[in-house]
Amino acid sequence: MSVSAPFLSASEAAERLGVSTKALRLYEQRGLVSPIRSAAGWRVYGPDQMARAAEIAALRKLGLSLAQVARVLGGDPQGLEPALAAHQATLEDRIRQLTGAIARVHELRSDLAQGKASVAGELARLLGPAPELSVAFPLPWPWGGERFELRDIRPLNYIIGPLGSGKTRLALRLAETLPGAAFLGLDRLADGGAAAHTRLDADPALKRRVDQALAWLAEDGALLSDALIALLAGLQAEGPAVLVVDMIEQGLDQATQEALSTHLRRRGPSGRPLFLLTRSRAILDLAAIGPDEAIILCPANHSPPSRVAPYPGAPGFEAVATCLASPEVRARTEGVIAWRPQVA
């Protein structure tokens, strides 16, 4: 088969749709879209396949799981109503914000007509960019007290480094320093996540949110476990403005990690910032990093942590790739920690 201009390669199709090539492969594996094969055997996407994939991507942005997407595309709209209701609520919130801004502009115009001098300052606050979330502090041991600064904090921030690199200490300091931040440690797994189960029993609203997330994840292949419930109890809890999570993949199999990664990404730019310690390539998929995500590398030589751009050739990229392992390898090394000298 000859491939003419309207047909796109997988990477071209993914770029046009605003998804990753991994997402396209997942759509294909679930039977949601069937790319055409070129004469050379490559997957290509024509107008019909692109239209189908665009529908899938749109439904995913509404928060539907792949199982729900399949049902909607198959003619069953169940599950679409709550997703549309949530999207409507988001749009209405934006309208309220815009309405308030319009009213304030109207007031400023009236003030200007009356010769009031404070208009310029008010206008700068009204039209200026939102305050940037940032943090700065002296680095703890094993560093030498160098000043660490992190600006433009994203909704998803991955902290990665080899054993003994200090990434956990960096995470703890971030949780201590960022306003309203909380640290979700590995103690969440103690006694089969007993503390999380107790918390859910006492908080029906939190339990509903966790159950909803569990249903979404299960439809995307996640395995229900105490580790997942304990993690979601922390992720879905209201209160913390920023959440720092220690080794998010702990106790989760590969399918669950992949479903969780997709679940976290679909929050979009409005999600509260998360800092995720990880060494799993199922959680940190370098091929799927989007604009709302950032990678922070703690180097093995204890040079100051730095942000790493997610493309080959960027400073630190190879070190990040080397730190990542498959869930199977992570399971074999579970419980291994770096030796730390006693600090007086």
Q: Structural domain tally of the chain?
A: 3
Residue 130 has pLDDT above 60, yes or no: no
* Whether 102 and 225 share a structural domain: no
343: in domain: no
pLDDT score recorded for residue 122? 65
E strand or H helix that includes residue 166: none
342: in domain: no
- Which of 50, 73, 96 is a domain's end point? 73
Chain mean pLDDT for the chain? 85
HSE-CB for 1 with a 13 A CA cutoff: 13
Q: What is the pLDDT of residues 310-324, one digit of tens each?
A: 888 899 999 999 999
* Whether 66 and 209 share a structural domain: no
Tell me what the mean pLDDT of segment 88-96 comes to. Answer: 78
pLDDT score recorded for residue 270? 73
Percent of the chain with pLDDT over 70: 88
270: in domain: yes
Q: What is the pLDDT of residues 222-267, one digit of tens each?
A: 899 999 999 999 999 988 999 999 999 999 998 899 889 988 987 7
Q: Apex CA 289: angle with CA 80 and CA 273, to 5°?
A: 75
The CATH number linked to 229 is 3.40.50.300
The CATH number linked to 42 is 1.10.1660.10
278: in domain: yes
In Å, the largest CA–CA distance within the chain is 73
HSE-CB for 75 with a 13 A CA cutoff: 0
Tell me what the mean pLDDT of segment 85-113 comes to. Answer: 80
Confidence band (pLDDT; 50, 70, 90) for 2? Answer: very low
Lay out the sheet containing 36-37: strands in order across.
8-9, 43-45, 36-37
* Whether 279 and 146 share a structural domain: yes
* Whether 270 and 245 share a structural domain: yes
Handedness of CA 135, 139, 140, 143 (dihedral sign): positive
pLDDT score recorded for residue 119? 57
Domain encompassing residue 96: 80-127
10 Å CB burial of residue 242 (0-12, 13-18, 19+) is: buried
Most confident of 58-72, 104-118, 153-167: 153-167
Cβ–Cβ under 8 Å, residues 243 and 271: no
* Whether 176 and 286 share a structural domain: yes
